Structure 1
Amino acid sequence: MTHILKLNPLTKADFAPFGEVLEVAGDPDKIINQGLCGRYHDLAQIDIVDGRPGISLFNAEARVFPIALEMVERHPVGSQAFLPMSHHPFVVVAAPDENGTPGQPRAFITTAGQGINFARNTWHGVLTPIHAPGLFAVVDRIGEGPNLQEHWFDTPYVING
């Protein structure tokens, strides 16, 4: 038997327990570059333990609905931000922690131009673009030692588009 996850729009309020939504919304904090650029300042808490923040590029294969969610992962010593390098939405899955294992997962769909930052130690699904190219800039911890825990579900979840 599978569990069905409803796909919800990604909003700052709904995603707040898991991290930050990164988007251009409202008026910029500051106008820079000779008045030609709005700066939306300090949108994410980059939280790194025993390492340094780094920027990597990920090129993920686009998925097709229905999407099977068989596992989630978390990074105990570093937050992880995903910034799409195309103007396409992608699927985001996050789950609360319940005594060291993931609770009920939630599935979100971004709007074009939204990115996310998973807070340190947050259970989340893998990078899930639904359009090619699945090219993302990722800001996360670079350092020695383990920073990945995986949890495989006994019964998978299914995300319908």
Structure 2
Amino acid sequence: MSRTVPAAPISQDAIRGLAELIDASGEADKIINRGYCGRFHDRASLDIAGDVGISLFKSAAFPMPFTLEMMERHPLGSQAFLPMQDGEYLVVLAGDNNGVPDRPRGFIAGSGQGVNIGRNVWHGVLCPLSGPGLFAVVDRVNDSPNLEEHWFDEPYVIVR
């Protein structure tokens, strides 16, 4: 089995069942503020047990190809990542296979595209590609355990 995973452009269809794409493509659902603003309404469903908050994640850029050594999941809540800068970032997702990640799938998200990773969905770490990244993250914020990690015996390599 090849340990190389190609990263495809992200789309809602491609990540269905694992995450939700949060973007402002197409026509706005509603025009507000006297015609100056388009509202793209209710683009993701938060699924969080406990306190919800907004945090900021600041990350160094990662090179491609990316070596995926570990995936994590959060059994008590979804995580929405909303980029606060232009540029691309890597999203790696996997279904569950008896308590460990299934074969990972890689996606390239671009400027103006956020992603809401579902509760208990395996995912890679935050990986800005175009330069350092700043992301608003909406997720569970209390101190009780909500993180599971899986380290691969042999890493995957995510390529464009």
When the two structures are superposed, what TM-score results if normalisation uses the length of structure 2?
A: 0.96
Is 1:147 equivalent to 2:151 in the alignment?
no
Structure 2 CA distance for aligned equivalents of residues 70 and 110 of structure 1: 21
> 1:151: how far off?
0.3
> 1:69: how far off?
0.1
Structure 1 CA distance for aligned equivalents of residues 15 and 2 of structure 2: 24
Q: Which runs of 4+ in 1 moved over 3 A?
A: none
When the two structures are superposed, what TM-score results if normalisation uses the length of structure 1?
A: 0.95
Structure 1 CA distance for aligned equivalents of residues 132 and 36 of structure 2: 29
Aligned partners of 1:89 and 1:113 also within 8 Å: no
Structure 1 CA distance for aligned equivalents of residues 64 and 132 of structure 2: 16
Structure 2 CA distance for aligned equivalents of residues 35 and 135 of structure 1: 29
> 1:111: how far off?
2.4
SS of equivalent to 1:136: strand
AA at the equivalent of 1:144: D
Aligned partners of 1:2 and 1:156 also within 8 Å: no
Aligned partners of 1:30 and 1:40 also within 8 Å: yes
- Residue 42 of structure 2 corresponds to 42
> 1:2: how far off?
7.0
AA at the equivalent of 2:158: I
Is 1:21 equivalent to 2:24 in the alignment?
no
Structure 2 CA distance for aligned equivalents of residues 155 and 144 of structure 1: 31
Aligned partners of 1:2 and 1:158 also within 8 Å: no
Which structure 2 residues correspond to residues 12-161 of structure 1 after superposition, within 5 A? Answer: 12-49=12-49, 51-161=50-160
Structure 1 CA distance for aligned equivalents of residues 153 and 15 of structure 2: 25
Structure 1 CA distance for aligned equivalents of residues 65 and 27 of structure 2: 37
SS of equivalent to 1:25: coil
Alignment root-mean-square deviation, CA: 1.3
The number of residues matched between the two structures is 160
Aligned partners of 1:74 and 1:122 also within 8 Å: yes
Which blocks of at least 5 consecutive residues in structure 2 are unaligned? none
AA at the equivalent of 2:32: I
Structure 1 CA distance for aligned equivalents of residues 2 and 54 of structure 2: 36
Percent identity among equivalent residues?
53
AA at the equivalent of 1:22: I
SS of equivalent to 1:14: helix
Structure 1 CA distance for aligned equivalents of residues 51 and 147 of structure 2: 16
> 1:52: how far off?
1.8
